[in-house]
Structure 1
């Protein structure tokens, strides 16, 4: 089953440097760089997830699974690795729930919301 990871590319606006590249754009680029060709993971960019206070945010979802909103990532390789590792475990889970003991350390404390499965 394909999992979609929607990442905000406009996160981290700095009024002092409005033309500077945003951390969200750097984070998306790093996640895309680390994505493996055989991953059943689709990266989708968006302009805003309205998680500005917890920027470098993403939305992880798949049909029939719980959806998660995550944020507070740094635009660095270790954060991208943690998010992709979690996304791969999410993909393997029937419900989208990943046991806490299996969470990469870089994912702990990053959850903003857990959205129940949309029932028909």
Structure 2
């Protein structure tokens, strides 16, 4: 299993940015970095996932699997996001059965992108 959990570190999540204070996306990334990361899951900061109205945003991706983008995430969601990334990684195609998904994963989905095909 090799899963990338991209975290938008520029997401403001509707907050007014205060100089010297980290934005919501950076705080989420920091919270994820403080948690024990499941084997095969890599947390990667990215500059923007273009989901600004739904920040803080994250994306799960892996070769040969569907990519998922989720929004409206916060620091308190870090443990659930890591568990969800691990569940995603245990699938062959990235499709975790609906009933096995955490509620925040079911309700905060922004996009599902098909896997790239070799041409």
TM-score over 0.5 for the alignment? yes
Q: Which residue of 2 aligns with 1:69?
A: 69
Structure 1 residue ranges without an equivalent (≥5): none
Corresponding residue SS for 2:112: strand
Query: Structure 2 length as normaliser, TM-score?
Result: 0.89
Corresponding residue SS for 1:97: coil
- What RMSD over aligned residues (CA atoms) do the two structures have, in Å? 1.6
Aligned-partner Cα distance in 2 for 1:47–1:87: 20
Query: Structure 1 length as normaliser, TM-score?
Result: 0.88
Q: Which residue of 1 aligns with 2:46?
A: 46
Aligned partners of 1:82 and 1:105 also within 8 Å: no
Aligned partners of 1:68 and 1:114 also within 8 Å: yes
After alignment, is 13-22 or 89-98 more displaced?
Answer: 13-22
Q: How many residues align?
A: 117
Aligned-partner Cα distance in 1 for 2:58–2:81: 9
Aligned partners of 2:17 and 2:23 also within 8 Å: no
Q: Deviations over 1:65-98 (max 9, x none)?
A: 000111111222xx11111111111000011000
Aligned partners of 1:56 and 1:75 also within 8 Å: no
